[in-house]
Structure 1
Amino acid sequence: MSPVKFMPEKFEGRHVLFALIAFFGLMFLANGIFVYYALGTFNGNETTDAYRKGLNYNKRIAQDDAQTARGWKPAARYDAGAGRLVVEIQNRQGRNVAGLKISAEIRRPVNNTYDQSVSLAETQAARYIAPLDLAPGRWTLSAKVFGPGGEGKPAFRFRQRFWVKESP
């Protein structure tokens, strides 16, 4: 009885060709599966009515320039212990700006199931607070700040990402 050979006597060019075809075929299959699931879970739109907003892009640039000239610096944080979102906006001199109306959207970057819209109420020392219960993980705050009347176009917009830690 002769021993069974698992490898051919010679490793020829056709063996290398089949190995390369199998390797790259497997890579294309894996990438195709990932692309299929990626496109099935996120359509790529981050804003509604993107075409119309694109037509008004120059106006948006002018608004951003006016916002930069205003010199406000927003700071947002989530207080997990109290279950609230706290926003402070400082002017050029470092003082908190009072008398504003703030509306915000809190979004998960990977899933829109937990998205929330909130209005922040002004409290002492020009701090704006909204009660909010957020699950641990990464969140994105998109806020619009209106003047004292709270009407018309936002005087200031900002976006900030933050992380809610797992409670011990």
Structure 2
Amino acid sequence: MSTHGRSSQRWFANGIEGRHVLMGLVAFFGVMLVANGLLVYYALGTFSGGDRPDPYRSGLTYNETIAAGERQAALGWQSEIAYDPAAARLTLRFADKAAEPVSGLRLDGQLTRPATDREDRALAFTEVSPGAYAADVALGPGRWVLSVESLLHEGGEPLHRLKRRLFVADRP
């Protein structure tokens, strides 16, 4: 007779009983509950799920948001974004329906990362040539989200809202 057979006979002298099955089930589901609890805790603690500070209030003004989007589409503005990592400069160009530069805008901008708010920053754009606006900002490699509101004067209703993703490549 082998040693393996005798040790198993001592361990389960009366065979597998109900308490052995119960302990096995409690241990299995206990480990699963702890693991899932940790995953839920870290998931809720790292990302709120929203990209707006107050989504409820945004929902209340949804019809006004749609009307503003229709007014923006009627303008027919086209935009072009360029980032020069050597000069650490972000440039926006705006043109109207007739491909003429749109000058005299006041731009409020913000750069964020898609998954975190650790590197969020506000941008100060200045008009460097007709229809071209630049902001000096050093961006690390990776994905960024650019949000810009175009105003004709201080405190006015935004004429044009722009939200685009940028990718900055690693420097060689």
CA distances 1:87-141 after superposition (whole Å, capped 9, x unpaired): 0112112232111111101001122111001121001242100000111111000
What displacement does 1:54 show? 1.5
The corresponding residue for 2:97 is 92
What displacement does 1:58 show? 0.5
Indicate conservation of the 8 Å contact 2:95/2:131, yes or no.
no
Structure 2: 5+ residue runs without aligned partners?
9-25
The 3 A distance-change label for structure 1 pair 152 and 23 is same
Q: Which has the larger radius of gyration?
A: 2
Say which SS state the counterpart of residue 93 (structure 1) adopts.
coil
Indicate conservation of the 8 Å contact 2:92/2:132, yes or no.
yes
The answer to whether structure 1 residue 163 and structure 2 residue 167 are counterparts is: yes
**Larger deviation: 152-161 or 85-94?**
85-94
Of 85, 109, 114, the residue aligned with 2:119 is 114
Say which SS state the counterpart of residue 158 (structure 2) adopts.
coil
Indicate conservation of the 8 Å contact 1:136/1:163, yes or no.
yes
> In the TM superposition, what are the counterparts of 1:30-45 in structure 2 within 5 Å?
30-45=35-50
**Considering only aligned residues, what root-mean-square deviation do their CA atoms show, in Å?**
2.9
Normalized against structure 1, the TM-score is what?
A: 0.80
CA distances 1:11-36 after superposition (whole Å, capped 9, x unpaired): xxxxxxxxxx9998877665543332
Of 151, 154, 164, the residue aligned with 2:155 is 151
Normalized against structure 2, the TM-score is what?
A: 0.78
Of 126, 132, 135, the residue aligned with 1:130 is 135
**How far apart, in 2, do the equivalents of 1:27 and 1:94 lie?**
60
Paired-residue identity, %: 39
Say which SS state the counterpart of residue 45 (structure 2) adopts.
helix
Structure 1: 5+ residue runs without aligned partners?
9-20
Say which SS state the counterpart of residue 125 (structure 2) adopts.
strand
CA distances 1:60-83 after superposition (whole Å, capped 9, x unpaired): 110100101110112222211110
The corresponding residue for 1:2 is 2
**How far apart, in 1, do the equivalents of 2:74 and 2:137 lie?**
32
Counterpart residue type for residue 158 of structure 1? L
Indicate conservation of the 8 Å contact 1:100/1:150, yes or no.
no
Q: How many residue pairs were aligned?
A: 162
